[in-house]
Chains A and B, each alone.
Chain A
């Protein structure tokens, strides 16, 4: 949109990746004079807001400077040799696929930092909290910005330790177990993924994603591709998560602090789907084609399974936890994303990328809202909240109730909001999958997934009815309605949900050329 010098763009991208890391180190040091603030806690939380704010601005400037006429071209690229022995290069760059995710990550992390500034997390010192969030941000941003397989693995692993500590230290009940489950599951997946990455690297002689994508799997035999896709796919599927590898997710979400849940759902899960699109689709297309029907089948099972689990949790007397419910709904939503990717068509993959972003916005918002509800009422247990008649949030705190209802209908895919386009395009893609994939199988998947959208609508409406509606007893205490800092943290998500719903081209225009290029044989 605006013309920015290439070297400035390079610097911005490098800043986005390395900046949070430096910020994390700075957070551990004592505050310099003049920045001490009211208390050390306040100073360090403010430091977090500043750093994530700077990163967000850098990301926005990067998005503005991005050449929107050529979104399939890698831009702001840096390519420096780092470890010649392993052929690891610090190769950074963004295209239409990674840019939206980069901005989403920067935005969500900033909103989380802002939210924590006004509502410090309950637990040990916020110093470590801020440092961990910043390391987490660096890891996720790096995942979306690097173009080297081993660097991708490094970035993928970087998020594990911070997230573990965020859950284990600042989490709720059963946090220790949940944190262990999270890290052991994900690590097992990612080490298996490493084996696949190494196999590709050794057989082709390079770890460079751009070179490999351009090669489009031509230097890999089909059997190598199959093995590599299986290994890498398992690692990414654990992260995404794909049913039946999802079981770490509900526990992690239930136990994680609000900010942790938002980042986990909004950003960390995207690393898995991004890997599918960026690595598997272009680098090992033959291997991916072999597994695509299975992937789609598992994804569809995930959609149904997630919805049914949510319905069960939403039932009266089921003692369903709202955070757990949203976590299961993520399994369903990510099912749509994976279904879209499994079609191997531009429509499906574009839908998947769109649904990715939409899920980040909407589920991020939902976790914020449920977190706020839990802070006010002390529980996120649906039965305790709703009692017999319903929690009557509309009466007690109308704005909070309204926002919750908004997020819920956005999540169920109401046309005009962000949730709609991604899932619809994914279904469209599945209706007419790529050449070489069994059409009847995918038609079945489409039908089942479409049924899943109905189930999704069902449980979300049940949640809205039980939480937002209900009779308001005379003596019921009023809940604090949305505070101004909460408005500040949530408004961007609401606005973007509406914008993405009404103007999908803003996003699809970015991803489509890049996806076309990727499927046709590589990134330029």
Chain B
């Protein structure tokens, strides 16, 4: 009789595991480190995230799977293929940059934020987010999803005694838990009809469901998707975003805008393309409609932001991230019609990588400005060029990348791949909707950009540049510029098989 114990490939699961372990270490160490040395915890966390990102390197050479069924080695719960590695790199890199921003925020907050808990929560969430793209069964997927989001609720509400912060956390929590419950119900339906949780087996068996159970299976598929749509902040599950971003500490908003999105769309990709490809005619149109709605609502919302309102810069980034989520959904929807779904999925992945780099960069500059102008209004950016030319140029570059216009070449080509996925799938109407959205988005991005170079009002204040913040800005800027010179670095994912 073969062994019932699954063998574990420790190297394959090392990246998320290390992040989780470092999180625990930091939590315990917090008890023993005196107040003066709390900054150490931050640097340990940063180092931990960097190390787990480095642990992706040995996995590059080939696909690895672990936690496989003992009687069928092809059916596994955890797979480290190219898709997994790219998303894990995105998640861990995004978390690393968010951590760099947090180091300064925590220092500035002067003990208002509990350091040990903060780092523990951030690392746990990152570990969950890194686990998610590797999951190949529905249970692991939901567990990963919850590990990624539960700490995030706490992080959003971490500001002690801040009413807005706790309200945001509650909003986030309630809507998220509802969505999870719905998708759990969906998964249970799918399990009931197919008798398996493994994605590849689900894909197989869901096509041969007993006639009486058809409706149940279809309902299950739809409900499962709902939960993941929520995480990408797709309309109509987007309403928590602006308040949550404003209420959360800025680095957490940055984290959610990138890593939160990555979690959502990689989950969505796994359930649509891997688990339910036979239902493409159901989820394809749904996702296409969702994409169109999401980008329109997000961009119109961003357009309506008043520049003088408190926290308008963060609000604008929040709404624009909803709009960007819409673009990310387009290739996933297109995969339903495409002969080569992996090609379409690659467009989403490439776009997400571009978006992660430049959006985190924009947040980093916002964090820099927010140190002196705590209200972080868009009008506070007026004349940034006069006080800090480099930060202004870099922010202008990031915003134009998000808008997709040269000199933000990588933004332009990332949009081109998304467009080409839509055109390739014959989704002409969606491409036109997206075209209109690109124009709407340009308006607010360029308005902000133009403001940076206006003559400053009043005495210009010098921003002091803390080292971690500088590192984050420099890292994202170098990435953005390098990618603009060699877009192939991210666009190659559209060309090669991911799974």
Across the interface, do B413 and A183 meet the contact criterion of CB distance under 8 Å? Answer: no
Chain A, residues 201-231, CB within 8 Å of chain B (1/0): the string is: 1100000000000000000000000010000
Docked CA distance A202–B494 (Å): 14
Are B423 and A86 neighbours in the complex by a CB distance under 8 Å? no
Given contacts A194-B419, A198-B423, is CB(A85)–CB(B488) below 8 Å?
yes
Instruction: Please tell me the number of chain A residues within 8 Å of chain B, measured between CB atoms.
Output: 35
Judged by a CB distance under 8 angstroms, whether B455 is at the interface is: yes
When chains A and B are docked, how far (Å) is the Cα of A72 from the Cα of B357?
45
Q: A152 to chain B: closest CB distance in Å?
A: 12
The segment out of B40-48, B157-165, B424-432 that lies at the interface is B424-432
A85, A154, A180, A198: the one within 8 Å of B412 (CB):
A154
Residue in A135, A158, A183 whose beta carbon sits within 8 Å of that of B446 in the complex = A183
Q: Is the interface of A mostly helix, strand, loop or mixed?
A: helix
A407 within 8 A of B: no
CA distance A150 to B417 in the complex (A): 11
Q: A150-B416, A201-B420 are in contact. Are A84 and B406 (CB under 8 A)?
A: no
Taking the complex as formed, is A496 at the interface, i.e. its CB lies under 8 A from any CB of chain B? no
The proximity string for B residues 398-418 relative to A, scoring 1 for CB distances below 8 Å and 0 otherwise, is 001000011101001100110
Q: Point out the residues of chain A lying under 8 angstroms from B435, CB to CB.
A: 188, 191-192, 194-195
Cβ of B436 within 8 Å of any chain A Cβ, yes or no, is yes
- Cβ–Cβ < 8 Å partners of B350 in chain A: 85
Q: What is the CB-to-nearest-CB distance from A332 to chain B, in angstroms, rounded to a whole number?
A: 28
In the complex, whether B237 has a CB less than 8 A from a CB of chain A is: no
- Per-residue CB contact flags for chain A residues 416-456 toward chain B (1 = under 8 Å, else 0) read 00000000000000000000000000000000000000000
Q: How far is the CA of A192 from the CA of B431 in the complex (A)?
A: 9
Across the interface, B416 reaches (CB within 8 A) one of A164, A194, A227, namely: A194
Does any Cβ of A come within 8 Å of B67's Cβ?
Answer: no
Residue A165, interface by CB 8 Å:
yes
B438: CB under 8 A from chain A?
A: yes
Q: Smallest distance from the beta carbon of B495 to chain A beta carbons, Å?
A: 4
Q: How far is the CB of A40 from the nearest CB of chain B, in Å?
A: 14
What is the minimal beta-carbon distance from B480 to any residue of chain A, in angstroms?
16
Contact of A195 (CB < 8 Å), options: B428, B450, B455: B428
Identity of the chain B residue whose Cβ is nearest the Cβ of A201 in the assembled complex: B420
Contact A198 to B419, CB < 8 A, known contacts A85-B491, A85-B492, A85-B494: yes
User: What B residues does A188 contact at CB under 8 A?
Assistant: 435-436, 439
Complex: A169 Cα to B446 Cα, angstroms:
13
Give A184 to B440 CA distance when docked, in angstroms: 8
Judged by a CB distance under 8 angstroms, whether B487 is at the interface is yes
CA distance A161 to B431 in the complex (A): 23
Bound-state Cα–Cα, A82 to B486, Å? 7
CA A515 – CA B264 in complex, angstroms?
53
Question: Nearest-CB distance from A190 to chain B (Å)?
Answer: 9
- The distance in angstroms between the C-alpha atoms of A194 and B446, with both chains bound, is 20
Q: Is A26 an interface residue (CB 8 A)?
A: no
* B126 on the A face (CB < 8 A): no
Given A86-B417, A158-B406, A194-B416, decide whether A168 and B450 contact each other with a Cβ distance below 8 A. yes
Check if B453 is an interface residue, CB within 8 A of chain A.
Answer: yes
Query: Taking the complex as formed, is A199 at the interface, i.e. its CB lies under 8 A from any CB of chain B?
Result: yes
The verdict on B443 contacting chain A, using a C-beta distance below 8 Å, is yes
**Residue of B407, B439, B494 touching A187 (CB-CB under 8 A):** B439
A158 contact set on B, CB distance < 8 A? 406-407
Verify if B442 is at the interface (C-beta below 8 Å from A): yes
Interface presence of A83 (CB below 8 A): yes
CB distance from A15 to the nearest CB of B (A): 18
* Cα A180 to Cα B409 with chains together (Å): 21
Min distance, Cβ B289 to any Cβ of chain A, angstroms? 19
Q: In the complex, which range does the number of interface residues on chain B fall in?
A: 20 to 34
Alpha-carbon distance A158/B400, docked complex (angstroms) = 11
Find residues 79-122 in chain A having any chain B CB closer than 8 Å to their own CB: 82-86, 88
**A124 in contact (CB, < 8 A):** yes
Nearest CB on A from B201, distance (A):
32
CA gap between A194 and B495 in the complex, in Å: 20
Question: Contact between B424 and A202 (Cβ–Cβ < 8 Å)?
Answer: yes
| Nearest CB of B to A385, in Å | 32
The residue in B406, B413, B417 that gathers the most chain A C-beta atoms within 10 A of its C-beta is B406
Return chain A residues, CB-CB under 8 Å to B487.
82-83, 85-86
Q: Is A486 an interface residue (CB 8 A)?
A: no
Q: How far is it, in angstroms, between the C-alpha of A250 and the C-alpha of B457 when the chains are bound? A: 32
Complex: how many Å from CA A342 to CA B235?
A: 45
List, in ascending order, chain B residues with CB within 8 A of A161's CB: 400, 405-407, 446
Cβ proximity bits A35-58 to B, threshold 8 Å, 1 near / 0 not: 000000000000000000000000
CB pair B406 A157 closer than 8 Å: yes
Q: Are B450 and A187 in contact (CB under 8 A)?
A: no
Q: State A231–B405 Cα separation when bound (angstroms).
A: 19
CA distance A517 to B119 in the complex (A): 67
Q: Does A128 touch B at the CB level, under 8 Å?
A: yes
Q: How far is the CA of A180 from the CA of B442 in the complex (A)?
A: 10
Which residues from chain B contact A168 at a C-beta distance below 8 Å?
450
Whether the Cβ atoms of B431 and A195 lie closer than 8 Å is: yes
Q: In this complex, what residue of B is CB-closest to A185?
A: B439
Q: Are B413 and A86 in contact (CB under 8 A)?
A: yes
A431 CB to closest chain B CB (Å) equals 38
**A187-B442, A191-B435 given as contacts; is B428 within 8 A of A84 (CB)?**
no
| Whole-angstrom CA separation of A202 from B428 in the bound complex | 13
Shortest CB distance B210–A (Å): 40
Alpha-carbon distance between A284 and B439 when the two chains are bound, in angstroms:
27
Cβ distance A142 to chain B, nearest Cβ, rounded Å: 10
Residues of chain A with a CB closer than 8 A to B488's CB: 82-85
Query: Complex formed: what's the CA distance from A198 to B417 in Å?
Result: 9
Asked if residues B405 and A198 are in contact (CB atoms below 8 Å), the reply is no
15 more A-B contacts (CB under 8 A) besides A85-B417, A187-B439, A194-B416? A82-B488, A83-B487, A84-B492, A85-B494, A86-B417, A86-B491, A124-B455, A154-B406, A180-B443, A184-B439, A187-B405, A191-B435, A194-B435, A195-B431, A198-B420
Please provide the 7 A-B residue pairs with the shortest distance between their CB atoms, ordered closest to farther.
A85-B491, A191-B435, A85-B495, A158-B406, A198-B423, A188-B439, A198-B420
* 8 A–B pairs (Cβ distance < 8 Å), ordered by A: A86-B413, A86-B420, A88-B413, A135-B407, A161-B446, A188-B436, A191-B439, A201-B420
